[in-house]
Amino acid sequence: MSAIDLNLPATALPAGFPGFGSGSGGTSVPKGVDDPGSDMRLGYAIAFLFFVLLIGWAAITRLDAAAVASGKLVIDGQRQTVQHRDGGVVGQILVREGQKVAQGQVLLSLAAADVRAQERALSSQAITLLAQRARLQSEQLGRPTIVMPAEFAGMTDPQDRIEIARALEVQRAQLRTRLAVVQAQRGAFAQRRAGAGNLGRGYSEQVSALDQQIRSLDQELESLRTVAEEGFVSQSRIRALERAKAELIGQRGQYNATVAQSRDQAGESRLQSLEAQNDYLARSATELRDVEAALNEVVPKLAAARDQLARTVIRSPASGTVVGLQVFTPGGVIAAGQRLMDVVPDRAGLHVEGRLTVNDGDDVMPGQTAFVRFDSLHERSLPPLEGIVTRVSADSFTDEKTGESYFTAAVEVKPSQLALLKDVRGPDFQLRAGMPVTIEIPVRRRTALQYMLEPLTAAMRKAGREH
């Protein structure tokens, strides 16, 4: 602006107006009157100085570009969802929402009367078959006692122990009976063989005696025939001795036949004894094959029934807190695969997971520093917590509700930073899954001046490419 012209005609001013004389040129300001131009110059100087300081501050002040993502605290490994494969009728509900549970603790049970009855029937059948197999194996090996099956050692249920004792007693009695029968049969055959042998030996001795008598007669006949030629012995005497010899020879033949028959009877008795033993073993082998086949059919069914019975008791997969309980009514029906509740593990770590816009997805990499603010904590003294980006999704996702695309990023907050929360909120403060957070991830260094000029430079770049 130009200075105000104060050279006015003299006639326009009152006579004797101070500060204006004819020889002064009309440009001097009277004393005691402020110069308006100096105020304006001072204003310009202040404005210029402020602008210079603003530009200087903007040029040296860092205002780094950052990718901002909204997210929440999530559990490492996620919640443990409790489901049931088969479904059924609810028996007892043993937990409530928010209750602390230990790993393996019973959460609820299903009605199991039908399954238990089926398991009991199959278990009894399997125990009977195992005891039969043990008895048949003893028969095959010729043992007089039954060896306890190894499978019985794992059956600790009281009802199973009672069934085992009963089945073994029955099979021991049957083993004793069958052994007694076959031993009696073999004993009878042995006695018959011994009797035939004794009879044969008796007749053999008689044959020997007859042979001796026949030899004596032969000698006597030979002597008599010599004397008879001289006429001292009658022929009737010789013929009588010859008839006696013939009778002895015939009797000897009968005795020899009896000896042979006795030997045949002894051999037959021995063969019958062996056949009785073989029949006993063959019958045992056939029964053993049948029992093995029945066991191969029953044992898998029993295992399936026991597995189904075990599943009627639903246990906690981890130590933690029950959340999202969906079952409230004993006697209600749950569907197969239905979500019953979740268990939030106690010892599971927490990390921050947020959604990045697709524009920021390329700017964020694992290993970058990130700052986390807890939106639900309003303490002004709580600074943002420093962390490290541990994971960025390889592909974008689409929100089914909004249709927006996004990348996921996981941030691990340093333990030393988490300690700041306890300093501000108290030692009893605990982080909970689901707490909302805001994640700021610096992506490049810049000043405030660069930030203010970015829209202009971007517009100029676009304008320079127009045609």
Domain ranges, residue 376: 66-76+348-445
User: Distance between CA atoms of 270 and 263, rounded to whole angstroms?
Assistant: 11
Is 33 contained in some domain? no
Is 453 contained in some domain? no
Tell me the pLDDT band of 210, cut-offs 50, 70 and 90.
confident
Give the mean pLDDT of 190-197: 68
DSSP code for 10? G
CATH number at 423 reads 2.40.30.170
In the predicted structure, residue 248 carries a pLDDT above the cut 50: yes
388-433 pLDDT, tens digit per residue, is 898 888 888 898 888 889 998 888 887 777 777 777 777 777 777 7
DSSP code for 13? S
Is 5 contained in some domain? no
User: Distance between CA atoms of 220 and 331, rounded to whole angstroms?
Assistant: 116
157: left (phi over 0), alpha (psi -120 to 50) or beta: beta
Q: Which of 14-23, 167-176, 330-339, 416-425 has the weakest average pLDDT?
A: 14-23
Transcribe 141-163 into DSSP letters. Answer: HT-SSPPPPGGGGG---HHHHHH
Does one domain contain both 405 and 329? no
User: Distance between CA atoms of 260 and 437, rounded to whole angstroms?
Assistant: 112
Does one domain contain both 121 and 206? yes
Does one domain contain both 181 and 240? yes
How many helices (H) and strands (E) would you count in the chain?
Answer: 6, 15
Is 143 contained in some domain? yes
Is 265 contained in some domain? yes
33-92 pLDDT, tens digit per residue, is 556 677 788 888 888 888 777 777 766 666 556 678 888 887 765 678 899 988 899 999
Does one domain contain both 150 and 201? yes
Tell me the pLDDT band of 93, cut-offs 50, 70 and 90.
very high
pLDDT at 204: 72
Does one domain contain both 303 and 418? no
213-232 pLDDT, tens digit per residue, is 878 777 777 777 776 666 66
CA–CA distances in Å: residue 232 to residues 217, 244, 383: 18, 21, 161
Does one domain contain both 168 and 228? yes
pLDDT at 4: 39
Q: Could you tell me which residues come within 8 angstroms of residue 19 by beta carbon, excluding any fewer than 6 positions away?
A: 28, 29, 30, 31, 33
pLDDT at 20: 41
Give the mean pLDDT of 263-278: 74
Cα–Cα nearest to 356, from 290, 438, 436, 299: 438
Is 1 contained in some domain? no
300 against 191, higher pLDDT = 300
Q: What percent of the chain has pLDDT over 70?
A: 77
Does one domain contain both 227 and 358? no
pLDDT at 2: 38
Does one domain contain both 121 and 162? yes
Tell me the pLDDT band of 9, cut-offs 50, 70 and 90.
very low
Average confidence score pLDDT of the chain: 78
96-151 pLDDT, tens digit per residue, is 998 999 999 999 999 989 999 999 999 999 999 999 999 998 888 888 888 888 88
Task: Cite the beta strand spans of 6-123 per DSSP E.
Answer: 65-75, 80-83, 88-93, 100-101, 106-110
Is 42 contained in some domain? no
336-378 pLDDT, tens digit per residue, is 999 999 998 876 566 888 888 888 777 788 988 888 888 777 6
Does one domain contain both 151 and 251? yes
Per the structure, the count of domains in the chain is: 3
Q: Quickly tell me which residue has 């006579």 as its tokens.
A: 15
322 against 236, higher pLDDT = 322
Cα–Cα nearest to 72, from 408, 320, 380: 408
Does one domain contain both 189 and 211? yes
Residue 381 near residue 102 (C-beta atoms within 8 A): no
pLDDT at 214: 79
In the predicted structure, residue 452 carries a pLDDT above the cut 90: no
pLDDT at 221: 75
Residue 73 near residue 435 (C-beta atoms within 8 A): yes
Transcribe 218-250 into DSSP letters. Answer: HHHHHHHHHHHHTTSS-HHHHHHHHHHHHHHHH
User: Distance between CA atoms of 431 and 75, rounded to whole angstroms?
Assistant: 11
Does one domain contain both 394 and 291? no
Give the other-Cβ count within 10 Å of 199's Cβ.
17
In the predicted structure, residue 29 carries a pLDDT above the cut 60: no
Does one domain contain both 333 and 304? no
Tell me the pLDDT band of 7, cut-offs 50, 70 and 90.
very low
CA–CA distances in Å: residue 43 to residues 1, 34, 46, 51, 167: 12, 15, 5, 12, 114
- Compute the half-sphere exposure of residue 351: CA atoms within 13 Å on the CB side of its CA: 16
Residue 209, both tokens: 């005696």
Q: Could you tell me which residues come within 8 angstroms of residue 17 by beta carbon, excluding any fewer than 6 positions away?
A: none
Is 293 contained in some domain? yes
Give the mean pLDDT of 307-336: 91
Cα–Cα nearest to 396, from 362, 351, 442: 362
DSSP code for 447? B
